[in-house]
């Protein structure tokens, strides 16, 4: 299901018979919302409402931004033992690989179970985005404020996990499975082995991996994200938006 953020997007998706959700009571903006402008901040503040609406149907949710390329089924990378499983959103390879480091989690690539702990998490997320304490202005900052607070969340695949309790349980998805745009653009990558295999170098050793997805967050090359997808052979749509497969 696609979430349309404005009437024109809703009409576009509807005309092409895509399953979509549009709520006219949410803040919307037909213009491009530049990162961390007031328009962008208002759009991000609506996210907890939508996420909560999905979870209240009883369905679990895999939420993915539209600037993501899929190579394999991303659901197969989910372990299923945590309320929240999300993409690591670090700039540095060493931090993304460090099992003793609590990295940032991305607000544009995560799985959330439908249960009371998750709804409580979203309620707190919405509260933070309304009050904006300590400079918090977007959903990702608020998410990380919560999951790094040991009174609200417990991270189960870093250091020594605690026994199950009523806190939100959190699992980081390895970057080799859900690759973020910062690491994708990093000088740490020696090459991209087409079609989907990639390499990274750590401590002088080259490792090869094949991610299920690449999230192009933070990637704004000449030609845009679409140009980047076409460059690496990752764009499979014709001009009429039909798929060549």
- Phi and psi torsions of 179, nearest 5°: -85, 130
CATH number at 217 reads 3.90.550
pLDDT at 195: 67
- Indicate if 99 and 111 belong to the same structural domain: yes
Please say whether the beta carbons of 233 and 194 come within 8 A: yes
237 within some domain: no
Nearest Cα residue to 87 out of 173, 209, 215, 186: 173
**Chain mean position to CA 102:** 17
User: Tokens 């790094």 label which residue?
Assistant: 148
- Indicate if 41 and 81 belong to the same structural domain: yes
- Indicate if 74 and 59 belong to the same structural domain: yes
- Indicate if 2 and 97 belong to the same structural domain: no
- Indicate if 120 and 23 belong to the same structural domain: no
DSSP 134: G
d(CA 182, CA 104): 12
- Indicate if 25 and 106 belong to the same structural domain: no
- Indicate if 136 and 204 belong to the same structural domain: yes
Note down the domain range covering 152: 32-231
d(CA 87, CA 109): 6
- Indicate if 15 and 133 belong to the same structural domain: no
- Indicate if 99 and 48 belong to the same structural domain: yes
Per the structure, how many domains does the chain have? Answer: 2
pLDDT at 190 over 60: no
Q: SS3 for 95?
A: helix
**How many Cβ atoms from other residues are within 10 Å of residue 204's Cβ?**
5
- Model confidence at 194, pLDDT cuts 50, 70, 90, reads low
- Indicate if 59 and 131 belong to the same structural domain: yes
- Indicate if 15 and 121 belong to the same structural domain: no
For CA atoms 221, 105, 3, 30, the dihedral sign is negative
| Tokens found for residue 47 | 């996210």
CA atoms within 13 A on the CB side of 59: 9
Please say whether the beta carbons of 127 and 49 come within 8 A: no
Could you report the per-residue pLDDT of 5-60, keeping only the tens digit for each? Answer: 999 999 999 998 999 999 999 998 877 788 889 999 999 999 999 999 999 999 99
Could you report the per-residue pLDDT of 85-136, keeping only the tens digit for each? Answer: 999 999 888 889 898 899 999 999 999 999 999 999 999 999 999 999 999 9
- Indicate if 80 and 114 belong to the same structural domain: yes
Nearest Cα residue to 87 out of 148, 170, 158: 170
């Amino acid at each position: 299901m696609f979430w349309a953020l404005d009437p024109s997007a809703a009409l576009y998706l509807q005309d092409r018979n895509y399953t979509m959700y549009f709520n006219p009571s949410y803040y919307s903006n037909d213009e491009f919302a530049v990162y961390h402008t007031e328009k962008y901040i208002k759009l991000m503040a609506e996210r907890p409402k939508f996420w909560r609406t999905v979870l209240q149907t009883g369905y679990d949710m895999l939420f993915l931004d539209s600037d993501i390329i899929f190579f394999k089924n991303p659901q197969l990378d989910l372990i299923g033992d945590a309320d929240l499983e999300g993409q690591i959103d670090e700039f540095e390879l060493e931090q993304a690989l460090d099992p003793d480091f609590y990295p940032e989690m991305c607000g544009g690539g995560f799985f959330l179970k439908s249960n009371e702990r998750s709804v409580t998490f979203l309620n707190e997320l919405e509260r933070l985005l309304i009050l904006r304490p300590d400079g918090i202005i977007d959903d990702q900052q608020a998410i990380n404020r919560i999951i790094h607070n040991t009174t609200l969340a417990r991270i189960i695949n870093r250091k020594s996990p605690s026994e199950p309790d009523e806190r939100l349980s959190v699992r980081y998805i390895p970057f080799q499975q859900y690759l973020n745009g910062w690491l994708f653009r990093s000088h740490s990558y020696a090459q991209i082995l087409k079609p989907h295999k990639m390499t990274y170098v750590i401590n002088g050793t080259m490792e090869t991996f094949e991610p299920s997805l690449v999230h192009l967050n933070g990637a704004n090359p000449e030609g845009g994200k679409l140009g980047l997808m076409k460059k690496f052979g990752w764009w499979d749509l014709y001009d009429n938006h039909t798929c060549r497969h």
